[in-house]
Structure 1
Amino acid sequence: MDEDHIVDFLKSKVEIWCFPRLLRELYRGTQNLQTLLTEKLTAYEAGKEENKEQISRKVRNWLGGRNQPANREEVFKICFALSLGEERSEKLLLSTAESGIHYRNPRELIYAFCLRRGFDYPQAQELIEALEQTGAPKSSLEHQKLVRQTWAEEPTQHLTISIKNEFRNITETNELKKFIRDNQGVFGIHHNTAYRKFVAMLEYLLRGVSDNYTFTDVPREKKYSIERVTEEYLRMGVPYQKKNRQCTKVEKFIKKHWPSPKMVQEMYSRKRDVNRKTLLLLYLVTEGMGVEVSEKSFVLEHCKRMDMMMASCGMALLNLHNPFDYLVVQSLNLENDDDFMSWKLERMLRKIFRNDGKTVYLEKQDNSCT
C-alpha cells in the first residue's frame, strides 16, 4: 500500500488494541467484572477522596473502552483486584503502561512478590510500609537519589534482568526482606538500559557523533539543543493541541506519550523515565543506529532489532493492533528506498493530523517531503 492507503486503512479498518478485551482475556474468575472492580477499588480507596460513584464511573469508562487507567498505580490496583498473579499482571502492564514490572523499583518488586503470593493490595501496602527501613524509599526525593546512584554506580551485572532472575526464587517474606536489604544499593525507579540506548541515539542527534556507534545514513548536523532536536526530528507534525476539534481514537493512541522538548529534557536529566515511543522514534530517526541491512530482509531485520531493543528495556514488543506501531512497521515497508524511515513516518502522520507543513530537517534534493 502507498501512504494514502495506509492512512485510510488505519482510520477505517485496522482493529485497534482494546483495554477491556484484554482485561476479559486475562481475568480467570466468574464474578461480573464491573461489579468486582468497583467493589475492590472502592475498598482500596476507603477513607480517601474518591467515592463509590466516582470509582464506578471510572470502571464503566475503562470497560467501555472510553479511556484507560491514568497511571501504573491504577494498573497495579486492577491486577490485585482481579487476582491476576505476577505473570498476567506483567502482560497487562506491558500492554497498558508500556513497560512490565520494574524489578529494580523496590515498590514494584514488593508488588510482584505480593501478586506471586496471592496477597491483596492492602496487604501489599502494609508490606511496603514494613519494609521501608530495608530499602523501599519513602519519598520522591529518595527515589531521585536512587536514580542518580544507580546510574553512576550500577555494576553491569545488576541490570533489571539480573535482579529479576535472582528474585524468581523468593517465596517468603523474610527472604524478600533480605533480598531488598542486599540489593538496595542497585535499586532505582527508572530503566537504565532504556536510558543508555536513549542517550546513545540522542547524543548523535545533538552532536552528530557517538562514542559507541558509527552512523552512515544520517547527515551530519551541527550541535543542536534538545529542544531543536525534538522539534525537528521527533515531533513529526503531531500537534500539541486538539486545534478546536475532537481527536479520533486513532489520533489519541498516536499522541499519547508523544515526546515534547520538555519531556525529552526531563528524560535526559533523569527526572522522567524514558518512554517506549521516544525510543522507537529515535531508532527510526537514526536509521537503526546506522545498521546495514540487506534489501531483501530490510523490514524483518529492523522489526527484529526494535523488538530486541524493547525486550531488553522491559517494554512491549511491536503490536500491529497499536496504531503507532502499525505506522512504524509501515514506514519500513513503504517504497522509495532512498527515503529515511522517519520521513515516511512523518508524511503519514501529517496526513493523519491534516498537517500540510513540510518537514524541516534532512533536506532532500527535490525539497519535497509532503
Structure 2
Amino acid sequence: GSICNWWADDGDDWYYFKDGKKYTGYGKDASGTKFFDNGKYASWWHDDGDDWYYFKDGEKYTGYGEDASGIKFFDNGKYASWWHDDGDDWYYFKDGEKFTGTAQDASGTHTFLNGKYNEDGYSDGQWYISGENKYLKDSDGNIRTGFVTDSDGNLYFASKFANGAIQKNFFAYYNGSGYIFGDDGIGVETDNPRSEFIKIIAPYVVSAVDGTGLFPSVAIAQACLETGFGSSTLGYPPVYNLFGIKAPSRAEEGSYVTVWTTEYYDGNKVDIKDKFKKFDNYTEAFRYYAGLFTRSKWLSEHYRYVLSARTPQEACRTLTGTYATDPNYKDKLLSIIDQYDLTEYDKEIYPNGEK
C-alpha cells in the first residue's frame, strides 16, 4: 500500500499520519486546521514554532482549563490578561485569574476585587489597597502614618496629609539617615544624604529657572535650607513644597497644609501656624518657584532686586527681608552654596556663573 497521510488505525488506536509517521505540527483534516501532537489533537502546552500555547482538541484554547499551575482562564492559548466573558459574566483577568489588585484598563486605573471594579478598596493581609494608593495597617486594622515598616522590614512613608497613603519617588530622612523612595515606595538608604538630595533636585531646578534671571545655586540652596536638605515633611509627597511657599489666606480647602513655622518680627523669633501651598509633584513646585518672582506686578516690584542681581551673593542679600524674615537668611544660603559648590550649576546657564 501507499504511505499514509491521513487518519489511520495502527492496531492500537487512531492517529493522524504524515509521510507515514504520527504527525506533530499544524495539519488539516475534515475538521479543519489543527495542531497535532504525536498523531493526536494537541491538548496541553506546546511550542507551535512561534511561541508556547495551551491547546485543547488541537486548537489554541479559550476558556477555563487546568495546567500545572491550576485552573486558569485562557484566551487563544495564553493566560487571559484583560476583560473577558467567562460564560457567566465579564471579568478582568490577569495571568489567567480573576484579578485582585490595582491595574489599568481602557477607562484608567482601578482597584479590582475578584475581577470586578472595587473602588472602595480591599484588604490584602497587612495592606489596604484602594485605586493607586496603598495603606499599611497596624494589628488593630488602623491605617498607620509617618515612617512605617512592613512585616518584611521595608521602610515606607505614609503621609498624614494623604490620609496615610504610601508615597513614592522622593527623598527623605529617617532616624538621621537619608533614604531614596522609589516607584514601589520602599526607602533605600544612601551614604551621602545631603549631596544626594542636591543631586536629585539640581537638574529640575536648572531647567525651571533657565531664562528667568534667577541663579540655580540660590534656588538649590533655598530648597536645602527650607526643607533641611529634604528632612521637612513639607517637601515630601503629597505636598512637594521645597521652597517654603505660603498659600494665600483664602486658599481653597485641600490646596494647602497648615504647619508650625518660625518667623521673625522686629528681630524677634516667633513660632506660628501658617498655610503652605500644596503641589501635585516636584516639577510643578519648581516651575511655580521659578515664576513666583514675576507672578504679579506687585511681586515683580517686590523682587526687582532679586531679578536684577548679577551674582548669587547679591541675590542672597536681596532675598533677605523679601522672601524670608530670617535676618540671617543670606548668610545661611551663602554657606550652603559655598559648602556644596553650587555655583557650578550657575555655569549651565551663565557662562561665567554671573550675569
TM-score range, shorter chain: under 0.3
Pick the structure with more strand per residue: 2
Q: Work out which structure has the larger RCO, using CA pairs closer than 8 Å and 6 or more positions apart in sequence.
A: 1
Higher helix proportion: 1
